[in-house]
Amino acid sequence: MKTILSLSAAAFFAASTAQAALVANISGIPGSGQTTWTFSGVAIAVGSGFFEDGNDLANNDTWRNFGEYTSINDFENFNVLGDAGLTIDGMTRLIDLAYINDGAGGAPDDWGVGVEGDTDFEFFAGFEISWTNSLTVIGCDINDLNNSGLPISFLTSNYGSNGDGTRDLELTIAAADIAPVPMPATT
């Protein structure tokens, strides 16, 4: 029986009666050497911030300090495959960078994405933010995202250098079973 591990992230941008959320689900078959990152959800920014252009990412433009879930020291992948897109206030850019950092020195871990283009993708309070579709991230095995046993959930993260852009990131790592392929009947 194969097992797929799944990582879910929900970033809360607006405090309202029904909180809107950006959601990222990361899944993969252990040992395959790749993961699939699927994006959905809509949120309203409560502050300003930006998503980095596809050159690099740092702590000032990622979700930070939401627990220790990974052994990856500093993973940036510029060659992700897929059609995931990030839309801010009606403008869309493709997501072309996946980022994971283990927080170094025992600090909680960081996670983020970057977008295509040569300029940062800025948002301000009141802007609608959404993302859709998925990426395949080669070189990031689901086992790399399981540092403490399953299931694991983390809450209360900040986005950006001053934490102004979002409220919380909810991160859950869980395991799900895939039904085994039946063996052919013998006579």
pLDDT value for 59: 63
Q: Which of 80, 70, 89, 75 is nearest to 13 (CA)?
A: 89
142: left (phi over 0), alpha (psi -120 to 50) or beta: alpha
Q: For the segment 122-140, what is each residue's pLDDT rounded down to a tens digit? A: 988 888 989 999 999 899 8
Report whether pLDDT(171) > 60.
Answer: no
pLDDT value for 12: 41
Q: What percent of the chain has pLDDT over 90?
A: 14
- The span from the CA of 79 to the CA of 142, in Å, is 18
- Do 171 and 100 contact (CB within 8 A), yes or no? no
Q: For the segment 65-83, what is each residue's pLDDT rounded down to a tens digit? A: 777 888 788 888 777 999 9
Report whether pLDDT(17) > 50.
Answer: no
How many CB atoms neighbour CB 4 within 10 A?
A: 17
Domain ranges of the chain: 3-176
